[in-house]
Structure 1
């Protein structure tokens, strides 16, 4: 039987407790054997001055998940041609890890624009998807394809953008971040 492996892609700039709570929920309540935090590389065409460099973000994810055996930090997309599209990542993952069944994890916000993704129909035809709730994005479960599931994960209204803004304003955000991540970010400020 193939290992059920969730692919949770993102910039994780920085990773926060909302990411971890969702990942924990998916492993414990939705039956994933593992969840891989797929740290996405910086797009060289985008001017994202607030984006921590690739290696720092990967390191922070590794720090955040240490001690939880079902989580893995992945730099897989760092080694793929740029820009990296989800369909290409899934194709390469299936080649590299044939013993695994991959579940793509996306937010309801991304599901609302999923039809704009490169080869979105092929993703739907070849993949299992978990959609997690996001405030302001309602999804009619009865209209979802059979291989797409809306998960009942608790909603946490926290984002990396919120974290970065709070840091800029000098706010104490220690309980929004895993302790190791908070310590490392505090040292850099």
Structure 2
């Protein structure tokens, strides 16, 4: 195992939550805790990305975002990682493929907010992501219905599983996805950045 990568045990279920985390906030904590409980996961790894090709402006330096994330997420089941920087991957499909090679006995679940499901069909190799790992989608304010009727959801409608089976998601053969409805937290990184910018002016 490469230095700096998380340690696992065979059969572990790990949720992967990727993003810029610029900055990490209580909303990220909220959906992570919901995912751990509702999807029956052993661990969640926050994959703090070097950059996001769907964002016009680059994020804060990676080291700053990781340090800030570690101050807000204190659950010992959650690991804050720079895996993509260590592996040299930038696209989610490549990261997942690399992790599956490195951890062949770990069951991974890709986690994302319902807002990301709306644009999932814009992701590089999104069909490959759906074919590699089950996907857990966490409802967020104003996005549940748009996500349910998004282009990706329509294409993958046969793979959708009922919310009542959320705890079995890690054991499902992909493509498989479950959307869970959770108490909503309206915090967002963009709103926090806007407040910080106003405070500096």
Alignment of 1:1-189 (within 5 A): 2-42=11-51, 48=57, 51-66=59-74, 68-81=75-88, 84-137=90-143, 138=145, 139=148, 143=157, 145-146=159-160, 147-170=176-199
Q: Secondary structure at the match of 1:169?
A: helix
Question: What's the CA shift for 1:80?
Answer: 3.3
TM-score (norm 1): 0.79
Displacement over 4 Å in runs of 4+: none
- Asked whether the equivalents of residues 132 and 151 of structure 1 are also in contact (C-alpha less than 8 Å), the reply is yes
Inter-partner Cα distance in structure 1 for 2:123 and 2:199: 37
Gaps of 5+ in 1: 172-189
Contact kept, 8 Å, 2:35 with 2:138, in 1: the verdict is no
TM-score, scaled relative to structure 2: 0.74
Q: CA deviation at 1:136?
A: 3.2
CA distance, structure 1, for counterparts of residue 122 and residue 60 of structure 2:
27
Give the Cα separation in 2 of the matches to 1:6 and 1:26.
Answer: 8
Find the counterpart in structure 1 of residue 163 from structure 2: none
RMSD: 2.7
How far has the Cα of 1:114 moved from its partner? 1.8
**Distance change >3 Å, CA 64–CA 160, structure 1 → 2:** same
| Count of residues in correspondence between the two structures | 169
